[in-house]
A and B are shown apart, each in its own frame.
Chain A
Amino acid sequence: MASGAEPMGFYTDTTVCIGCKACEVACKEWNQLPATEGGAHEMSGDSYDNTRRLDGIHWRHVKFIEQFSEDRSDGRWLMMSDVCKHCVNAPCLEVCPTGAIIRTEFDTVVIQSDTCNGCRACIGACPFGVIGINDVSNVAQKCTLCYDRLQAGMEPACSQACPTDSIRFGPIRELKQMAEARVTQLHQLGEKRAHLYGADEKFLGGLNSFYLLVDQPEVYGLPRSPKMPTRNLIPSSLWSTAGAALLALLGMVGLRKRRMDERAAEADTDV
Chain B
Amino acid sequence: MAECHPVAFRWPMKAKTENGAKLIHIDPRFTRTSAMCDIYAPARAGSDIAFLGGLINYVLNSERWNSDPFFREYVVNYTNAATIIRKDFRDAEDLNGVFSGLMEYQNKAGWPYDGFVGTYQTDSWQYSSHGEEQGEPRGGEESSSPGRTQAQGKTGKKQSFESVIRSLLKPPPERDETLKNPRCVLQVVKRHFSRYTPEMVEQVTGCPRETFLKVAETVLANSGRDRTTGWVYAVGWTQHTNGPQVIGCCALLQLLLGNMGRPGGGIMALRGHASIQGSTDVPTLYHSIHGYMPAMSALKDHQTLRDYLATEGVPTGVWGGMPKYLVSYLKSMYGSAATPDNDFGYDWHPKISGDHSHMPMFVAMADKRVKGMICVGQNPATSLNSALERQGMRNLEWLVVKDNFLTESATYWHRAPEVERGEIKPEDIPTEVFFFPSAQVAETEGSFTNTQRMLQWHFKAADPPGQCRSDLWFTHQLALRLKSLYAESNLPRDEGFKKLVWEFDPDPIRTAFPLPGTSSIAGEPDAQKVLREINGYRTGLPDQHLAGYDELKDDGSTTCASWIYCGVFPAPGQNLAAVRIASPPEARGALLTWGWTWPANRRVIYNRASADPAGRPWSERKKWIWWDPSQKKWMGHDVPDFPVTKPPDAPAKPGAIGLDALSGKDPFILKADGVGWLFNPAGLLDGPLPTHYEPIESPVRNALYRQQASPVLKYWNHEGNPLAPVQDPRFPYVITTYRLTEHYLAGAMSRWNPWLTELMPELFIELSPELAQEKGIHNTDWVRISTPRAEIRAKALVTRRLRPFRMGGKVVHQVGMPWHWGWEGVVTGDVVNTLSSLVGDPNVSIHEGKAFVCNVEKA
Q: Is B859's CB within 8 Å of the partner chain A? A: no
Given contacts A43-B795, A77-B32, A164-B10, contact A36 B741 (CB under 8 A): no
> How many Å lie between the Cα of A40 and that of B760 in the bound state?
9
B804 closest partner in A (C-beta): A72
**Contact partner, A41, options B755, B761, B764, Cβ 8 Å:** B761
14 A-B pairs besides A75-B40, A163-B6 with CB distance below 8 A are A18-B741, A19-B741, A20-B2, A22-B6, A24-B759, A29-B755, A35-B757, A39-B753, A39-B754, A43-B760, A43-B764, A45-B795, A45-B796, A77-B32
Q: Is B493's CB within 8 Å of the partner chain A? A: no
> How many Å lie between the Cα of A97 and that of B237 in the bound state?
60
What per-residue 1/0 map shows which CB atoms of B7-36 lie under 8 Å from chain A? Answer: 101100110010000000000001011111
Judging by beta carbons under 8 Å apart, are A21 and B759 in contact?
yes
**Contact partner, B34, options A22, A28, A77, A165, Cβ 8 Å:** A77
Q: Is A224's CB within 8 Å of the partner chain B? A: no
Query: Among residues 46 to 67 in chain A, which have CB atoms less than 8 Å away from a CB atom of chain B?
Result: 47-48, 50-51, 66
> How many Å lie between the Cα of A214 and that of B17 in the bound state?
15
Given contacts A20-B2, A43-B780, A75-B800, contact A35 B758 (CB under 8 A): yes
**Chain A CB within 10 A, most for which of B35, B42, B741, B742:** B35
B211 closest partner in A (C-beta): A73
Given contacts A19-B32, A20-B741, A79-B32, contact A50 B758 (CB under 8 A): yes
Judging by beta carbons under 8 Å apart, are A39 and B2 in contact?
no
**Minimum CB–CB distance for B798 against chain A, Å:** 8
Judging by beta carbons under 8 Å apart, are B780 and A45 in contact?
yes
Question: Given the complex, which residues of B lie within 8 Å of A239, measured CB to CB?
Answer: none
**Contact partner, B827, options A24, A40, A47, Cβ 8 Å:** A40
Judging by beta carbons under 8 Å apart, are B780 and A16 in contact?
no
Judging by beta carbons under 8 Å apart, are B826 and A21 in contact?
no
Q: Is B727's CB within 8 Å of the partner chain A? A: no
> How many Å lie between the Cα of A140 and that of B728 in the bound state?
58
> How many Å lie between the Cα of A214 and that of B51 in the bound state?
32
Query: Among residues 181 to 197 in chain A, which have CB atoms less than 8 Å away from a CB atom of chain B?
Result: 182, 185
Question: Given the complex, which residues of B lie within 8 Å of A76, measured CB to CB?
Answer: 35
**Minimum CB–CB distance for B751 against chain A, Å:** 9
B interface residues, how many (CB within 8 angstroms):
41
**Chain B CB within 10 A, most for which of A20, A21, A164:** A164
**Minimum CB–CB distance for A238 against chain B, Å:** 48
A interface residues, how many (CB within 8 angstroms):
40
**Chain A CB within 10 A, most for which of B13, B759, B796, B827:** B759
B31 closest partner in A (C-beta): A77
Judging by beta carbons under 8 Å apart, are A164 and B800 in contact?
no
Question: Given the complex, which residues of B lie within 8 Å of A35, measured CB to CB?
Answer: 754-755, 757-758
Q: Is A96's CB within 8 Å of the partner chain B? A: no
> How many Å lie between the Cα of A164 and that of B8 in the bound state?
9
Given contacts A43-B764, A50-B760, A68-B801, contact A20 B754 (CB under 8 A): no
Judging by beta carbons under 8 Å apart, are A68 and B800 in contact?
yes
Given contacts A18-B6, A165-B10, contact A45 B32 (CB under 8 A): no
What per-residue 1/0 map shows which CB atoms of B740-752 lie under 8 Å from chain A? Answer: 1110000000000
A29 closest partner in B (C-beta): B755
Q: Is A34's CB within 8 Å of the partner chain B? A: yes
**Minimum CB–CB distance for A124 against chain B, Å:** 26
> How many Å lie between the Cα of A78 and that of B32 in the bound state?
9
Given contacts A21-B741, A35-B755, A68-B801, contact A77 B7 (CB under 8 A): no
Query: Among residues 26 to 80 in chain B, which have CB atoms less than 8 Å away from a CB atom of chain A?
Result: 30, 32-36, 40, 42
Judging by beta carbons under 8 Å apart, are B800 and A39 in contact?
no
What per-residue 1/0 map shows which CB atoms of B755-790 lie under 8 Å from chain A? Answer: 111111110100000000000000110000000000
Given contacts A163-B10, A164-B10, A164-B13, contact A28 B755 (CB under 8 A): yes
Q: Is A42's CB within 8 Å of the partner chain B? A: yes
Q: Is B799's CB within 8 Å of the partner chain A? A: yes
Q: Is A110's CB within 8 Å of the partner chain B? A: no
Judging by beta carbons under 8 Å apart, are B754 and A34 in contact?
yes
Q: Is A101's CB within 8 Å of the partner chain B? A: no
Q: Is A4's CB within 8 Å of the partner chain B? A: no
Q: Is B797's CB within 8 Å of the partner chain A? A: yes
Judging by beta carbons under 8 Å apart, are B826 and A39 in contact?
yes
Judging by beta carbons under 8 Å apart, are B741 and A39 in contact?
no
Judging by beta carbons under 8 Å apart, are B757 and A51 in contact?
no
> How many Å lie between the Cα of A170 and that of B14 in the bound state?
19
Task: Show 5 residue pairs from A and B whose CB-CB distance is below 8 angstroms, ordered by the A residue.
Answer: A40-B754, A45-B796, A48-B760, A72-B800, A163-B9
Question: Given the complex, which residues of B lie within 8 Å of A75, measured CB to CB?
Answer: 30, 40, 800-801
What per-residue 1/0 map shows which CB atoms of A150-166 lie under 8 Å from chain B? Answer: 00000000000001110
Q: Is B803's CB within 8 Å of the partner chain A? A: yes
Question: Given the complex, which residues of B lie within 8 Å of A235, measured CB to CB?
Answer: none
Q: Which 10 A-B pairs have the closest CB atoms?
A: A39-B754, A68-B800, A35-B754, A45-B780, A39-B757, A77-B35, A35-B758, A20-B6, A18-B2, A43-B762
Question: Given the complex, which residues of A lie within 8 Å of B797, measured CB to CB?
Answer: 43, 45
Question: Given the complex, which residues of A lie within 8 Å of B796, measured CB to CB?
Answer: 45
Question: Given the complex, which residues of B lie within 8 Å of A38, measured CB to CB?
Answer: 754, 826
Judging by beta carbons under 8 Å apart, are B757 and A40 in contact?
yes
Judging by beta carbons under 8 Å apart, are A51 and B800 in contact?
no
Q: Is A179's CB within 8 Å of the partner chain B? A: no
Judging by beta carbons under 8 Å apart, are A51 and B760 in contact?
no
Q: Is A111's CB within 8 Å of the partner chain B? A: no
Judging by beta carbons under 8 Å apart, are B780 and A47 in contact?
no
Question: Given the complex, which residues of A lie within 8 Å of B780, measured CB to CB?
Answer: 43-45
**Minimum CB–CB distance for B723 against chain A, Å:** 31
Question: Given the complex, which residues of A lie within 8 Å of B761, measured CB to CB?
Answer: 39-43, 50
What per-residue 1/0 map shows which CB atoms of B114-127 lie under 8 Å from chain A? Answer: 00000000000000
Judging by beta carbons under 8 Å apart, are A66 and B800 in contact?
yes
Q: Is A122's CB within 8 Å of the partner chain B? A: no
A47 closest partner in B (C-beta): B799
A164 closest partner in B (C-beta): B13
Question: Given the complex, which residues of A lie within 8 Å of B742, measured CB to CB?
Answer: 21
Judging by beta carbons under 8 Å apart, are A18 and B32 in contact?
yes
> How many Å lie between the Cα of A72 and that of B34 in the bound state?
13
**Chain A CB within 10 A, most for which of B754, B755, B757, B779:** B755
A37 closest partner in B (C-beta): B758
**Contact partner, A18, options B35, B755, B760, Cβ 8 Å:** B35
> How many Å lie between the Cα of A97 and that of B826 in the bound state?
40
Query: Among residues 695 to 748 in chain B, which have CB atoms less than 8 Å away from a CB atom of chain A?
Result: 740-742
Given contacts A45-B779, A47-B799, A165-B10, contact A19 B758 (CB under 8 A): no
Question: Given the complex, which residues of B lie within 8 Å of A29, measured CB to CB?
Answer: 755
> How many Å lie between the Cα of A154 and that of B796 in the bound state?
42
Question: Given the complex, which residues of A lie within 8 Å of B34, measured CB to CB?
Answer: 77
Question: Given the complex, which residues of A lie within 8 Å of B2, measured CB to CB?
Answer: 18-20
**Contact partner, B756, options A25, A43, A185, Cβ 8 Å:** A25
What per-residue 1/0 map shows which CB atoms of B820-857 lie under 8 Å from chain A? Answer: 00000011000000000000000000000000000000
**Minimum CB–CB distance for B544 against chain A, Å:** 42
